Structure 1
């Protein structure tokens, strides 16, 4: 694994053209999040221009059949950011990317079962407001160069609840596994101490990245890049999926140190089994 300290704009320019199959990342949201060393309050036009700059470099280093999964969230009082960003990357006479799929990362949900039992699962940050409801989801935009990149839809699939559908839908090939769809319920793991266990204000779970790896369909041969590594969730996902070729870039030395520590702890836990 190659974990690099530095500004992703500078580092990306040094990487070889078309040297990655898959990019999964979550940039700063420009919503005033309290990062350790990044000022997350730029004017919106300046922020979008900055995003287009690193996105150009991602397009350059991404293989022609590659996928770029972009995780971005919003706040109830500032709901347009994800849409403004995706338009900046896909709109105009010479768009950088084509939006091929839009996924909804659901962090918490309440559902009523067929037995009329109400289940509430997952984690969310409560909003103290009489205007807005709790925000329990974020977007994951799947971007490609052409909009026609094949995916392994069932690699990240789920079994049928009603088994009669196995034979009814021929695209499953008789297997009890269907496409999961574009709504992903992926909760955070429960932690005891925020600053110790998750010292980053906007990280995603490794399982989110694993879902993207499976869907892209190249398995352990995947060449994976995360230009905003944070505390290393994508590096852990690469390790869980046995990916040897992983590169992560992080500007904050403290976050990078946390990423290395998480990988070391994972390695120790595996060797102690």
Structure 2
């Protein structure tokens, strides 16, 4: 299926206001973290309460355009000396007598991990930004909060599943239904793609891998009929995931025209021309 990609240059709050209510199946996004990240256009240094108030505004528009059975996957990171932002934002979105969203699942996006094999070897894999500190350890993960309107949205748990290590479990447990695949759980190891030139291959200071968005598409389980929205398009990672997953449509907003140009170039490399932008 050819994905209909629509890119819009402008503020997502205003842009989403032009979309009809209840038409989006899936939202995957990573907003600015308010941690002083050096974006081209956006100034990532708001006072904390003002930042959260702004997030509540655009999140309310996200909720309006979502279908009742839609999923909203919100990726939020932090830094070791300022670790509370993801939790403060989550509480703002889900707390109170009439919350915007229900937290249905919390996923941990693991960028780098070290594990010990049964043979006693330690294997390290993935990518992380090392820090030089006597107080903090390297931060190798971010949160992905799965938010829904009701807390009762059905997922395709095996859509993002993994095969059994011990194949005898397939016949031993009735819930497998004979299939060599189980729920992956809420820990997702998805490393960044290896790049040769940061300014050319990843000209954005805060991106997530295409595989992370593809994982959200799979587990939400709507297949090719999914309409995906990313209010903070950046350089088009969600758009690429939409194209590679073969879903019906993608809508992205960004205030930075240069980032949208990069998105178009990435889509052209995937042989998918975006629709005219506004």
Q: Which TM-score band applies after superposition, normalised by the shorter structure?
A: over 0.9
**Could you say what the CA RMSD is over the residues aligned between the two structures, in angstroms?**
0.8
Matched, 1:19 2:8: no
Aligned partner of 2:188 in structure 1 is: 184
Match of 2:32 among 21, 28, 37: 28
What displacement does 1:115 show?
A: 1.5
Match of 2:133 among 108, 129, 135: 129
Matched, 1:39 2:43: yes
SS in 1 for 2:44: coil
CA distance in 2, matches of 1:245, 1:180: 26
What displacement does 1:169 show?
A: 2.6
SS in 2 for 1:148: coil
CA distance in 1, matches of 2:146, 2:174: 26
Deviations, residues 104-124 of structure 1 (Å, cap 9, x unaligned): 000000111111121110000
TM-score by length of 2: 0.95
Match of 1:224 among 222, 228, 234: 228
Q: Name which structure has the greater RCO, CA cutoff 8 Å, separation 6+.
A: 2
Q: Kindly report structure 1 stretches of 4+ aligned residues shifted beyond 6 Å.
A: none
CA distance in 1, matches of 2:170, 2:71: 29
Matched, 1:115 2:94: no
SS in 2 for 1:267: coil
| Superposition map of 1:58-73 within 5 A | 58-73=62-77
Deviations, residues 193-224 of structure 1 (Å, cap 9, x unaligned): 10100000100011000000000001110011
What displacement does 1:170 show?
A: 1.9
What displacement does 1:167 show?
A: 2.0
Deviations, residues 90-136 of structure 1 (Å, cap 9, x unaligned): 00121000000000000000111111121110000011111100000
Matched, 1:142 2:143: no
Aligned partner of 1:260 in structure 2 is: 264
Question: Which structure 2 residue ranges, 5 or more long, are not aligned?
Answer: 273-278
TM-score by length of 1: 0.97
Q: Give the number of equivalent residue pairs.
A: 268
SS in 1 for 2:270: helix
Match of 1:152 among 129, 133, 156: 156
What displacement does 1:244 show?
A: 2.4
CA distance in 1, matches of 2:243, 2:149: 27
Aligned partner of 1:215 in structure 2 is: 219
